[in-house]
Amino acid sequence: MKLSIENWRVLDGAGNFIALDGNDRGLAYGDGLFETMRIHDGRPVWWREHWQRLARGADVLGIPSPNEAAIAAHTLELIAGRSQGVLKLVLTRGVGGRGYAPPMPAQATVVLSWHHLPGPEPGDGLNLRWCQLQLSEQPVLAGIKHVNRLENVLARAEWSDPELHEGLLCDAQGRLVSATSSNVFVHLDGRWQTPRMDRCGVAGIARDWLLKNIQDAVVADLTRQEVRSSAALMVCNSVRGIRQVRRLEAQVWPTSPAVIELRRLLALAEPAFARSP
């Protein structure tokens, strides 16, 4: 479905309308960042956290941070009258000539786009697979949500079965990193553990929320075998919140009271996640 132009805006970093340029470095090199926010009751959920991650990524890439107030105003204008959905923000280094050298100073481009909520998922948990693709390690880019996402695209292209909801990704050493568009928590040795995001992967906003709100959650290296022997498994992202994994290939987990309790806590903090979309 092609979205109409009503559903997106192209702005400069100050919030002025601009035309999307064929020489934008976002298109040329994936030279940019993005955020995907849940819109609930007409407001972006976790705006502050998304903006902080965007600013952190802009700092890593050396892209000037856009004016938050101006972009927030455009966001509210774009989502006005739309209660539930998803707002995507892409920030690029803007127009360049040719060549990798970043223009100095760069004039950032911001693309805001409105999207419908994704379709519903089964209430009793997700059905996952292991992806074949192994994520590469790049500590300089790890954690930030940059737009060099061909690995995620290729991993997600490994299946088309709508009954399969997510795929788990490991690095070349066989360590769990994440799912294609979610972070993963594994209940192991009596506590929740989630992979480090300092070699590859994206440090998700929902992951941050869980790390802050689960008393004894830890960041750890996790093998495939540890995932298989876990008492419970959940995935999270800022569009869908927390979801339990019911099945991973041949293995099935029972409903976890711990995940139900975390979902209840998250829904109290952010009512958007009271029901899974």
Number of residues that bind a second copy (CB under 8 A): 65
Exactly one of 38, 40, 145, 146 binds a second copy (CB under 8 A); that residue is 146
Which part of the chain contacts a second copy (CB under 8 A), choosing from 71-79, 155-163, 227-235, 267-275? Answer: 155-163
What stretches of the chain show up as alpha helix (H) in DSSP?
25-29, 47-61, 68-79, 150-156, 205-213, 224-228, 257-269
12 counts as binding a second copy under rule CB under 8 A: no
As a dihedral over the C-alpha atoms of residue 121, residue 126, residue 132, residue 138, rounded to 10 degrees, the angle is 80
What b/e sequence results for 67-93 when a residue is b if at least 16 CB atoms lie within 10 Å of its CB, and e otherwise? Answer: beebbeebbeebbeeeeebbbebbbbb
Q: In whole angstroms, how close is the CB of 23 to a second copy at the nearest point?
A: 5
User: From the list 180, 193, 194, 256, which residue makes contact with a second copy (rule: CB under 8 A)?
Assistant: 180
Q: What span, in angstroms and rounded, lies between the C-alpha atoms of 41 and 87? A: 13
**Strand bridging mode 191-195 / 218-220:** parallel
Residue number with CB closer to a second copy (96 or 125): 96
> Which residue, 217, 208, 211, 170, is CA-closest to 189?
217
Q: Are strands 183-188 and 251-252 parallel, antiparallel or unpaired?
A: unpaired
134 half-sphere exposure, CB direction, 13 A CA radius: 8
47 binds a second copy (CB under 8 A): no
Stretch that binds a second copy, among 48-56, 90-98, 209-217, 242-250 (CB under 8 A): 90-98
Could you give the 3-state DSSP secondary structure of residue 43? strand
Residue 211 touching a second copy (CB under 8 A): no
Residue 103 or 254 with smaller CB distance to a second copy: 103
Q: Which residue has the tokens 């994994």?
A: 245
Q: Which residues contact 66 (CB under 8 A, 6 or more apart)?
A: 11, 12, 13, 14, 15, 91, 108, 110
- Among 80, 81, 105, 140, the residue binding a second copy under the rule CB under 8 A is 140
**């996790």: which residue's tokens?**
222
Q: Give the binding range for a second copy (CB under 8 A) out of 4-12, 38-46, 188-196, 210-218.
A: 4-12
* Residue with smaller CB distance to a second copy, 133 or 259: 133
Among 52, 83, 118, 268, binds a second copy (CB under 8 A): 118
Q: Which of 113, 208, 219, 251 binds a second copy (CB under 8 A)?
A: 113
Stretch that binds a second copy, among 46-54, 148-156, 252-260, 264-272 (CB under 8 A): 148-156
Within 10 A of 52 (CB to CB), how many other CB atoms are there? 13
Span of 75-83, 137-145, 203-211, 251-259 interacting with a second copy by CB under 8 A:
137-145
Residues of this chain that bind a second copy (CB under 8 A): 1-3, 5, 7-10, 20-32, 34, 36, 61-62, 86, 88, 90, 92-93, 95, 97-102, 104, 111, 113, 115, 118, 133, 136-138, 140-141, 146-157, 160, 172, 180-181, 200
